[in-house]
Structures are given as C-alpha cells and as structure tokens.
Chains A and B, each alone.
Chain A
Amino acid sequence: MKLRDKGLFAALVIAIYLACLPSLALAETLYVQAKTAQLRSGKTSLDTVVANLKYGDELEVLKRDGSWVEVRTTSGARGWIFANKLTASKPSGGSDTLAQLGRSMRRGEAAGTTASAGARGLDKTSEGYANRAGISQQDRDAVDRMTAYQLTDQEVEEFLKEGGLGEYAK
C-alpha cells in the first residue's frame, strides 16, 4: 500500500468510527431481569400498564429517575419500569442451547417427562428412583404435591402489593 493510500485508508477508518460513535454513546440497553415486568405510563405502581414484559426483553434507556427508568421496547412501546427488574448484562441462552445439544446427543428424552414437566407431579424417572430407593408413599405424595403446587403471577403480585415490596414500596 502506498503512503497516500494508507492515509486514505486511515481517514476512512476514522470516518466510519465517528459515524458509529453517536449511536454507541447514546443508546444504553438494559434487559428485563425478572420473570415478568410491567411497563407503566408513569413512575408509580398506580400508573396504568402500557405493556407486559418478560425475562430477557431488550429495552432502550431514555431517562432515569430514582427507582424508575423510562425505556423503549424493541416494538416501540414507551414507558416506565421499576429499576430492580433490570440488568445491564444480557441473560444468556447459551448454556441452554448447549444443554439441548447434550440431550439430543444422549439420544433420549429424560424418560417419561413431557414439555409440561414440573407442572404435574413426579415423572417416571423419579418414580423409578423412588421404587429403587424404597421411598414411602407418604413422602412421594409430599414431593408430588410440592411439584404440582400452583400460584399465579397475579397472587404473587398481590402479595408484593400488600407488603409494600418491589415497585409497591412506600
């Protein structure tokens, strides 16, 4: 490369860098670090819900105010979210992909489990284990009930509200 070309090349690199700079400097991205979260029209838990967000959703930060952050979702919705439900690091799906691969390579599915595993009692594998380990029916029933125990997100939300927890803090 001639000296002149080198100069042009360097100028081009600097130009590209400068062109990228404003967007790098301005856009702060945060992610939802909670199972669910509400995007609200204002900075209190009494304000109306603009959108329901889920774990890992990407948000662009617009403004911060105390415990609340104004954000824009990737679909363009704009509102306020409680800061404790946000994280700067992207929740990783990497290990799950690897886990999927591991399972596929082990050429099987954990025997007897279905997509809704965890929602309804003991699966065949742990049933088999219980038989071999001589676990009593009473203890099996206890783990069965524990596995099937249901609480809705709404019930948890009510509980937080009653206790003045999370975004309901007084």
Chain B
Amino acid sequence: MRNNISIAMSLFALALSFGSCAELQQAAEQAARQSGDERLARTIRGAGTLVAGLLPIGYEEESSIGQSIALQVVARYGGTVDDPQLVRYVNLVGRSVAATCDRPDILYRFAVLNHDSINAFAAPAGYVFVTRGLLKNVQNEAELAAVLGHEIAHVSQKHILEVIQRSKQIAGVTEAGLAYAGKNPEAFKSVIDNAVKKLLDEGLDQSKEIEADQLGDVFASRVGYDPAAYVTFLTRLRTVKGDDKAFFKTHPNFSNRIQAVQQTMSAKGLKTNGVLLAERFAQQGKRL
C-alpha cells in the first residue's frame, strides 16, 4: 500500500512536470485509489484541476468564448450591417492590419454593428466590431486601420481572456467553466456574462486601453498607413464626444490617449509619411 502511495505521488509529480499530464494525473489518481487512499486520490484530482485552472486558455476554448461574447455584442448593438461590399472592405482593411500584428497566426473577422453610437469592440479569437456610428466619424482608411488595430491589439494581447482567467480564479471556477461547458453550461454562461459586463458596461482597465491605442497604431503603421491619422481621429472624437460620461466609464479620456499615441510615435520612430487613402474609404463610407 505504501508502495502504491509513493507510486501515486511520483506519477503526480511527473504529471505536473510533463506534457502528457492528463494521463499521468489519471494514473496517479488511480494508484492512490487502489491503495485505498481515497483522500489522496481526491487531492491529486483537485490539485490537477487547480493547476489546470491557472494555465492559459487554449485556442479552441478561446474560440467558444469569443463566439459567445460576439453573440451578446451583436444582440445588444442592433445586429450587423450586411452590405456585402462594406463587409468585404472592412474585412480587407482589418486583415491587412492583423497580418502584421503581434499575433498574426489566428483568423480575425470583422463586422459592422447597426448602431449609431460611436464604438468598437473585440472579443477573443479575433472577433472585431465597429459601429455604423463610428464609421460615420472616420475620414480615411488610415483612421479605420488604427481603430481596427486597437481592437486587434486587445485580441493579440489577450486582454479579455485575462479578465476571464482572473474572474474564473476568483469565482473558483476551474474545469467547470470552459472545457466542461457542455457538462456545466450554467457555469460557462456565468463566465461569459461577467466578461460581457466588463467589456460593454464597465470597460477594461485603462492601462489596457492605452496599450491597445499604442499597439494598434504601430500595427497600422507597419502596413504603411500614416500613424498620425489616429491622432487626428482621437482629436475629432474629443470634439464630438465632449465629456460623454457613458463613454468615459469604459475608456480613458481623449487627452491622455492622444498623448500616449504621440509618445509611441516618437519613441518607435514611426514615419508619418504613410498613406491615408481618403478616397478609397469615401467610396465605402457613402454606403452607410
């Protein structure tokens, strides 16, 4: 029996150190159970679950989370604009920027929300939304590229997943929340609903918004768009939005954002001789 326990312990230690974790962990749990030590078996299972809960979320899980959040975004923002030419254009600009972002190996998709507010959102696994109201305030393709770049940065930096990971740990939801979504859909729903509340109502941490501004502009600039266009756009929004409290609940104020973008442009030596493509944008913009 003592032998079985030491086998169980060794197997579990191995499980924590190597990739074939699940099998080894199961074997350890089994060995402990066979030795009659049910408590140790439960501890091994519990510890494994805890460790698993702390590990990052994989792409398949991210994809389910992203789709579920996307469903709520679409539902709360009036559905999508389905003009094929406009959808294609926004996807082309978005894909161009995403191809040079810091996480170009996943698929990004873009949609226009049928809503007059000026807003944009990103859900994990590359779901990016801009409102019709935002597009009406954009004057050229370089501005749009930076706005999409901002949202792409939220995805590439896994900002929303981080929120979920944190809330999962606080709530003590480990395996139940995600991989076991099929078995425990209520726990999954609570994880998603919390993430949606954070994303749409409370807003991400302001430092994450600033980081997304800075990175998004760098991504757009890598494609060849003029990075100064984003400063122009934020300055225009400052005038349009004034002190819209609902907006500032979810975003840092414009002066701070503009300053941060300008600092990045000079620190990274971004060239301001890129293209604006105002005419190409105007052809699509008039479809709104």
Contact = CB atoms under 8 A, between A and B. Distances in A.
Nearest to B123: A143
Interface in B154-211: 174-175, 178-183, 185-186, 188-189, 192-193
Contact of B280 (A95, A97, A106, A163): A163
Given A99-B55, A102-B52, A164-B224, A146 B95 contact: no
Contacts of B55: 98-99, 101-102, 105
- Binding site of B, secondary structure by majority: helix, strand, loop or mixed? helix
A166 to B, nearest CB: 5
A164 B275 contact: yes
B22 A104 contact: yes
Interface stretch (B2-10, B99-107, B235-243, B254-262): B99-107
Interface residues of B, number: 75
Contacts of A151: 88, 91-92, 95
A55 B282 CA distance: 33
B260 to A, nearest CB: 22
Interface in A114-170: 117-119, 122-126, 128-130, 132-133, 135-136, 138-140, 142-143, 145-147, 149, 151, 155-156, 159-160, 162-166, 168-169
Contacts of B102: 33
Contacts of A64: none
A147 B22 contact: no
Nearest to A158: B92
Interface residues of A, number: 63
A129 B61 CA distance: 13
B222 A84 contact: yes
Contacts of B48: 105
B52 to A, nearest CB: 4
Interface string B35-55: 000000000000011011111
A159 B19 contact: no
A55 B105 contact: yes
A8 interface: no
A155 B89 CA distance: 11
B27 interface: no
Contact of B79 (A56, A124, A130, A138): A138
B56 A95 contact: yes
Most-contacted residue by chain A among B55, B174, B193, B225 (CB, 10 A): B55
A36 B99 contact: yes
B179 A103 contact: yes
Given A123-B67, A142-B79, A106 B181 contact: no
Contacts of A97: 19
Interface string B66-93: 0110111011000110100001100111
Contacts of B70: 143, 146-147
